């Protein structure tokens, strides 16, 4: 049997299904990226100090937002496994439970970030940035409940394989955000020139709008009628909340620790000064493009693996995961070639400060080095989420990110004096180790007997 015949017979149907599910998620995620690009471009051209302040605040909030997204992903393994039968009312009831438990997580995240707010002046960031950091931080803090609510709606829609709904709402919300940022950062027409704070208000309003749009759609669309019946009739049960939490918290901690390996490095980079912090924000914006695209396909892997788990079909669980991994590796190659080709142009897109552009140019090597590891860990982390084997992922994440990646970033950056390049060199080590361990765990848990 030739390689092409082997691939076509074993994986073709899975490639097709994953692309159908994953592309709308990727488009929605790229919409989030477009927002990050636009905000970074507009803020960067308005002020280098504002770009540096945005880098610090956004990196801290990304840590919390990714953790809350991880918590909401616990719904996928519950709902997708019900799709093979007539369980529409039960599925609608799970949305109600997800909204309740995610709202509680949103409140908890606000409490944690509210405490952190008072420590900002004491963690070694450039003094000249504090008047910019604190108000921007506060406005984004107000948006956290809406992030949690949106996560619940989005993961529910993705779980029933209605990934296009999330895509269109994300695109609409991000277009609203970009328009609001333009009007409020620069003070266009009757709007005041608010700079970085204007970008914060635009983000707050767009997150509110996306939650309202999801709620209206769910309450009005005819094809959701049977789901609405379950949503309205099924009462909140503590056992169901515990089930979502038992799956969601390990995922939240795993994804939160991964995000921490990037977000906490913003504190390390801040020790190197305003220029380094601004360059860090530019590179993270570029890097997020790759991450968001891979995550889109990863979400499809989780849904498909959960669906086959509900059917007790171990063979197709494995084939879905490996087909998804193949597709993500294709995306890794495309992304890496594109980034390498345009590596000399990115700095000038985001800032007019040649010092920032010069630092940006030094960071492409470590960023390209970790693309394989990032794709590997996204593919098999989502496969494990699909089969609800999530608790071991916490321990893998702790080792890979807290015991390897963060210490390596500090060692390379400050002990060996490699500066910001050294800080970024910790990422390839942590991501590749995590991806390898997730793959080994998935292989052992789905080994065919």
**Which backbone phi and psi does 73 adopt, to 5 degrees?**
-65, -15
Closest CA to 98 of 227, 206, 205, 201: 227
Q: Is 55 helix (H, G, I), strand (E, B) or coil?
A: helix
Token pair 């993961």: residue:
155
| Distance from C-alpha of 445 to C-alpha of 389, rounded to nearest angstrom | 8
CA dihedral for 101, 104, 108, 110, sign (positive or negative): positive
Closest CA to 290 of 7, 33, 19, 23: 33
| Distance from C-alpha of 327 to C-alpha of 308, rounded to nearest angstrom | 19
Q: Quick one: pLDDT band at residue 3, thresholds 50, 70, 90?
A: very low
DSSP one-letter string for 396-413: HHIIIIIIIIHHHHHIII
CB 378 within 8 A of CB 29: no
Distance from the Cα of residue 319 to its chain's centroid? 25
Token pair 């060996």: residue:
416
Q: Helices 274-310 and 48-72 sit at what angle, rounded to 10 degrees? A: 20
| Distance from C-alpha of 155 to C-alpha of 165, rounded to nearest angstrom | 11
Residue-wise pLDDT tens digits, 163-219: 788 888 888 888 888 888 889 888 888 888 888 888 889 989 988 999 999 999 999
| Distance from C-alpha of 432 to C-alpha of 277, rounded to nearest angstrom | 25
Residue-wise pLDDT tens digits, 349-378: 666 678 877 888 888 888 888 899 999 999
Closest CA to 433 of 390, 389, 399, 407: 399
Q: Quick one: pLDDT band at residue 37, thresholds 50, 70, 90?
A: low
pLDDT, residue 40, reads 67
| Distance from C-alpha of 401 to C-alpha of 106, rounded to nearest angstrom | 24
* pLDDT over 90 at 404, yes or no: yes
CB 135 within 8 A of CB 176: no
Distance from the Cα of residue 364 to its chain's centroid? 21
pLDDT, averaged across the chain: 84
| Distance from C-alpha of 430 to C-alpha of 373, rounded to nearest angstrom | 8
> Three-state secondary structure along 199-267?
HHHHHHHHHHHHHHHHHHHHHHCHHHHHHHHHHHHCCCCHHHHHHHHHHHHHHHHHHHHHHHHHHHHHH
The mean-pLDDT minimum among 184-188, 261-265, 313-317 falls in 261-265
Q: Provide the residue ranges of all domains of the chain, joining segments of one domain with +.
A: 15-445
Helix or strand run (H / E) with residue 149: helix 144-159
The mean-pLDDT minimum among 49-63, 178-192, 409-423 falls in 49-63
Greatest Cα-to-Cα distance within the chain, rounded to the nearest angstrom: 69
């Amino acid at each position: 049997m030739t390689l092409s015949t082997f691939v076509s017979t074993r994986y073709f149907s899975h490639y097709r299904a994953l692309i159908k599910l994953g592309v709308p998620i990727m488009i929605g995620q790229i919409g989030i990226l477009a927002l990050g690009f636009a905000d970074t471009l507009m803020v960067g051209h308005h002020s280098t100090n504002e770009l540096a302040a945005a880098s610090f605040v956004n990196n801290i909030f990304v840590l919390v937002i990714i953790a809350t997204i991880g918590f909401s992903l616990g719904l996928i393994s519950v709902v997708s496994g019900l799709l093979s039968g007539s369980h529409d009312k039960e599925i609608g009831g799970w949305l109600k439970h997800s909204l309740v438990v995610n709202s509680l997580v949103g409140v908890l995240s606000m409490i944690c970030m509210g405490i952190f707010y008072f420590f900002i002046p004491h963690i070694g960031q450039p003094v000249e940035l504090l008047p910019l950091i604190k108000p921007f931080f506060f406005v984004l803090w107000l948006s956290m409940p809406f992030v949690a609510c949106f996560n619940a709606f989005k993961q529910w829609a993705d779980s029933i394989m209605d990934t296009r709904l999330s895509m269109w709402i994300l695109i609409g919300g991000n277009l609203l955000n970009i328009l609001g940022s333009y009007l409020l950062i620069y003070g266009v027409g009757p709007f005041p020139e608010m700079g970085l704070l204007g970008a914060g208000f635009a983000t707050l309003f767009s997150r509110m709008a996306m939650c309202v749009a999801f709620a209206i759609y769910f309450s009005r669309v005819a094809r959701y009628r049977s789901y609405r019946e379950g949503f309205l009739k099924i009462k909140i049960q503590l056992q169901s909340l515990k089930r979502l939490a038992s799956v969601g918290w390990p995922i939240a901690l795993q994804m939160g620790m991964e995000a921490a390996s990037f977000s906490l490095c913003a504190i390390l980079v801040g020790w190197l000064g305003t220029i380094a912090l601004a360059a860090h924000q530019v590179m993270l914006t570029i890097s997020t493009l790759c991450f968001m695209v891979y995550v889109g396909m990863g979400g499809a892997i989780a849904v498909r693996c959960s669906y086959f788990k509900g059917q007790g079909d171990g063979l197709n669980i494995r084939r879905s995961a490996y087909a998804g991994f193949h597709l993500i590796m294709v995306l890794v190659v495309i992304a890496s070639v594109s980034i390498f080709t345009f590596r000399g142009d990115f700095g000038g897109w985001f800032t007019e400060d040649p010092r920032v552009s010069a630092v940006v140019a030094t960071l492409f090597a470590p960023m390209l080095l970790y693309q394989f590891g990032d794709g590997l860990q996204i593919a098999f982390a989502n496969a494990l989420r699909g089969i609800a084997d999530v608790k071991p992922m916490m321990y893998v994440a702790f080792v890979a990110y807290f015991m390897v990646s963060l210490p390596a970033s500090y060692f390379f950056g400050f002990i060996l004096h490699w500066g910001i390049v050294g800080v970024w060199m910790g990422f390839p080590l942590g991501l590749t180790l995590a991806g390898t361990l997730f793959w080994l765990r998935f292989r052992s848990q789905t080994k065919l007997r």
